[in-house]
């Protein structure tokens, strides 16, 4: 038997397609030929690897665990996304109310001559910057600034639109959570 023939028979042997005589001939060649023996041993090792427990079936709850993690991640992303939208809305509204208040405020020269007004304006600027960092602190500062100026209507509309934004955000976050189990049943 030639080595090439032996190699072909090894494949047939793996598929159990060898007659007993052919199997015997292959065994004799493998025992007498170093290179074919090495090839046969490599094939045996590969087969043993595929039969080993590392290829065992995954636990039955694996897919549900993975799906739970994915859903939790999605929900966290939705909260983050909606938080950013809410923050942006508040910042835009704050800028709008501030510009309204500044337009209604006295001219800049008389503002500069009035130290309490200058410090009030500084407080508003600090308030706008803080809005980006802390939502509640910014809302408190802006409300304080608008009430101090002639912008009571601005404050009222600001509170109304901010409240609507918060409601919309809550509906977005809790609405998606409520939808998740319904989708699971389908």
Positions that interact with Zn ion (CB under 5 A): 3, 33, 36
Which tokens in the block code for residue 64?
Answer: 């549900």
CB of 22 to Zn ion, least distance (A): 15
Nearer to Zn ion, 2 or 137 (CB): 2
Cα distances from 59 to residues 65, 111, 159, in angstroms, run 10, 72, 53
Give the nearest residue (CB) to Zn ion: 33
CB of 48 to Zn ion, least distance (A): 22
**Rounded to an integer, what distance in angstroms lies between the CA atom of residue 122 and that of residue 128?**
10
For the CA atoms of 104, 141, 138, 175, what is the dihedral angle to 10 degrees? -90
- How far is residue 183 CA from its own chain's centroid? 19
Nearer to Zn ion, 3 or 122 (CB): 3
DSSP secondary structure, 45-67, as one string:
HHHHHHHSGGGPPPPTTHHHHHH
CB of 50 to Zn ion, least distance (A): 25
CB of 32 to Zn ion, least distance (A): 8
Nearer to Zn ion, 10 or 36 (CB): 36
CB of 25 to Zn ion, least distance (A): 12
Provide the 10 A C-beta neighbour count for residue 44.
Answer: 12
**Rounded to an integer, what distance in angstroms lies between the CA atom of residue 96 and that of residue 40?**
80
């Amino acid at each position: 038997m030639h080595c090439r023939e032996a190699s072909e028979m090894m494949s047939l042997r793996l598929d159990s397609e060898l007659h007993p005589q052919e199997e015997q001939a292959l065994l004799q060649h493998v025992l007498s030929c170093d290179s074919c023996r090495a090839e046969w041993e490599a094939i045996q090792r590969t087969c043993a690897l595929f039969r080993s427990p590392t290829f065992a079936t995954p636990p039955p709850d694996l897919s549900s665990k993975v799906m739970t993690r994915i859903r939790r991640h999605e929900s966290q992303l939705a909260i983050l996304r909606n938080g950013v939208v809410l923050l942006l809305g508040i910042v835009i509204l704050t800028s709008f109310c501030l510009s309204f208040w500044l337009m209604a405020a006295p001219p800049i020269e008389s503002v500069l001559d009035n130290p309490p007004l200058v410090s009030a304006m500084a407080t508003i600027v600090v308030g706008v910057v803080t809005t980006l960092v802390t939502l509640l602190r910014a809302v408190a500062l802006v409300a304080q600034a608008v009430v101090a100026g002639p912008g009571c209507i601005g404050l009222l509309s600001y509170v109304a639109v901010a409240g609507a934004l918060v409601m919309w955000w809550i509906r977005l976050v809790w609405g998606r959570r409520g939808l998740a189990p319904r989708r699971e049943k389908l």
